A and B are shown apart, each in its own frame.
Chain A
Amino acid sequence: MTDTASTGLAHSFQLKSANVSLTALELYYFDQDDFENALREKINQAPGFFRDIPLIISLEKYEGIDSELDFFKIIGTCRRHQIHVIGVRGGNDDQRRLARGAALALLPGSGQREKPAEPEAEQSQEESPQTPEAATSDGPAPAKIISQPVRSGQQIHAPEGDIVVLGPVQAGAEILAAGNIHVYGPLRGRALAGIHGNEAARIFCQSLEAELVSVAGHYKISEDLQDNGWKSAVQIQLRDDLLVVTPLNKA
């Protein structure tokens, strides 16, 4: 019962969250010849390093005019040097539209998380309960403490630390934490711990009634949770790529 996908059905794939480091090319202006010369020069310094790497184009320092920004030429030039452009970071709406036209992925810029490019993220912020989100001041990643029930349709997001919920997490609610998740009430919604890939993150709850639990991208849905620790106090952790549910009183 510890199988991460033990529905009995054979799935052709499984979605997991991944955390990879990428090389970003910070573009100041674009001129086909200048670009190719500079690229060739860089590659000649370390030919093996650049072979078949994924690359993102960072537009945050771009000072040229938008019409010169020819992503097809950029992609083509890179391809000739065995570099694969996979997306752009930052940029204004017009630049991002051009990038999308060239089938590039759009990554948020460093200061761009709250902008309309991601309306869903903003929405979920609005619907978070207006709780005094008490933060413990010491330590690098303060825990987010929620003292009200997390209701259906609400999303609590802790991009850095742990989340502690003192009440229930209702069906249809979602909590996401980079660290651990503690729920001192029934966990009926979705709980995703270690969303940035921390495999040591755990989920603790007083009563496991969840729709989905996930640690570092390994998840189990309600159906797969019924036989082990259902409606009792448990912790959920990752062991050898498998989600393991253990009763809290035997921990």
Chain B
Amino acid sequence: MARIIVVTSGKGGVGKTTTSASISTGLAKRGHKTVVIDFDVGLRNLDLIMNCERRVVYDFVNVIQGEATLNQALIRDKRVESLYILPASQTREKEALTKEGVEKVINELSDTFDYIVCDSPAGIEHGALMALYYADEAIVVTNPEVSSVRDSDRILGILQSKSRRAEMGQDPVREHLLLTRYNPDRVEKGEMLSVADVEEILAIPLLGVIPESQVVLNSSNQGMPVILEEQSDAGQAYDDAVGRLLGEEREHRFMTAQKKGFFSRMFKGG
């Protein structure tokens, strides 16, 4: 049985797709057969970040509606073996994602994959609910600012009440906090919430802290999951997060401000 992980946030633009791309790439790099599904029907982005937009023939909705088989729609990643992408449809309505249809696809993927990563659209509407419904675990992507934290709290409440696990009375969805766009210097100046603040408010375990970095933007534009930028702090932070997701003990990095952060960046040479 595959582990089904939803990457969600409530708020838009916090880094869900970037995170989905990097986490799934990280899992696949360690030899786990992984598929990442774009649930953002109508606003598909994942294929751009994974640099496979020119190879999309069939999509998730085609499979749900029986117009294509899974094998026709799955795109094999060119960089990492055992990584597959199931792209979203750009032309359909979100309502095309039916509970039964999504279940059928996820069940079929479960037979052959170790990990299914579901990249959720923003909001708390139908698409987001479908992305989280079948999840065993949730990575809640949050930026260190008040409105993002509030929306994450909202999505955590929905995970507790509207997921399949909640409806069936099974063990609750395992929640992980991933703090992105973290800038220790701005935290120091009081312009951003600190890791401790966000942890204290949301009260869920911390999976990782991804530092704010130009590398994230550059790699997105180049269609490269940032985790493959192994020299960058953001890439390393994602790699740590994948390790923790697999149960490894890794010390949290890139959280300290001022001198320490400044020096370590000097030594790494950017």
Residues of A within 8 A of B (CB): 126-130, 148-154, 167-168, 170-173, 185, 188
Q: Do the beta carbons of A171 and B160 come within 8 Å of each other?
A: no
Q: Do the beta carbons of B162 and A127 come within 8 Å of each other?
A: yes
- For B109, the chain A residues whose CB sits under 8 A away are none
- Known contacts A151-B157, A153-B157; 10 additional CB pairs below 8 A are A126-B162, A128-B161, A129-B160, A130-B161, A149-B203, A150-B157, A151-B160, A154-B161, A168-B201, A171-B150
Q: How far is the CB of B127 from chain A (nearest CB, A)?
A: 18
Q: Do the beta carbons of A154 and B157 come within 8 Å of each other?
A: yes
Partner of B150, one of A129, A150, A168, A172: A172
Nearest 8 A/B pairs, CB to CB: A151-B157, A152-B153, A152-B154, A130-B166, A129-B160, A154-B157, A153-B154, A170-B153
Q: Known contacts A152-B150, A171-B150, A172-B150; decide if A129 and B157 are in contact (CB<8 Å).
A: yes
- For A149, the chain B residues whose CB sits under 8 A away are 156, 203
- For B153, the chain A residues whose CB sits under 8 A away are 151-152, 170-172
- For A170, the chain B residues whose CB sits under 8 A away are 153, 201
Q: Known contacts A130-B166, A167-B203, A168-B203; decide if A148 and B160 are in contact (CB<8 Å).
A: yes
Q: How far is the CB of B88 from chain A (nearest CB, A)?
A: 26
Residue B66 interfacial (CB < 8 Å): no
Residue B158 interfacial (CB < 8 Å): yes
Closest to B159 in A: A151
Residue B270 interfacial (CB < 8 Å): no
- For B150, the chain A residues whose CB sits under 8 A away are 152, 171-172
User: How far is A19 from B171 in the complex, measured between Cα atoms in Å?
Assistant: 41
- For A130, the chain B residues whose CB sits under 8 A away are 160-161, 166-167, 169, 172
User: How far is A130 from B154 in the complex, measured between Cα atoms in Å?
Assistant: 15
- For A151, the chain B residues whose CB sits under 8 A away are 153-154, 156-157, 160
- For B157, the chain A residues whose CB sits under 8 A away are 127, 129, 150-154, 173
Q: How far is the CB of B261 from chain A (nearest CB, A)?
A: 29
User: How far is A152 from B167 in the complex, measured between Cα atoms in Å?
Assistant: 19
Residue-wise, chain B 90-122 has the 8 Å CB interface mask toward A (1 for contact) of: 000000000000000000000000000000000
Closest to A132 in B: B169
- For B156, the chain A residues whose CB sits under 8 A away are 149, 151
User: How far is A130 from B171 in the complex, measured between Cα atoms in Å?
Assistant: 10
Closest to B161 in A: A127
Question: Which residue, of B150, B151, B161, B167, has the highest number of chain A Cβ atoms within 10 A?
Answer: B161
Closest to A189 in B: B153
Residue-wise, chain B 168-183 has the 8 Å CB interface mask toward A (1 for contact) of: 0100100000000000
User: How far is A148 from B167 in the complex, measured between Cα atoms in Å?
Assistant: 16
- For A148, the chain B residues whose CB sits under 8 A away are 160
User: How far is A200 from B160 in the complex, measured between Cα atoms in Å?
Assistant: 33
User: How far is A153 from B159 in the complex, measured between Cα atoms in Å?
Assistant: 12
Q: How far is the CB of A168 from chain B (nearest CB, A)?
A: 6
Q: How far is the CB of A166 from chain B (nearest CB, A)?
A: 11
- For B151, the chain A residues whose CB sits under 8 A away are 152
- For A171, the chain B residues whose CB sits under 8 A away are 150, 153
Closest to A188 in B: B201
Q: How far is the CB of A118 from chain B (nearest CB, A)?
A: 19
User: How far is A203 from B169 in the complex, measured between Cα atoms in Å?
Assistant: 31
Q: How far is the CB of A184 from chain B (nearest CB, A)?
A: 12
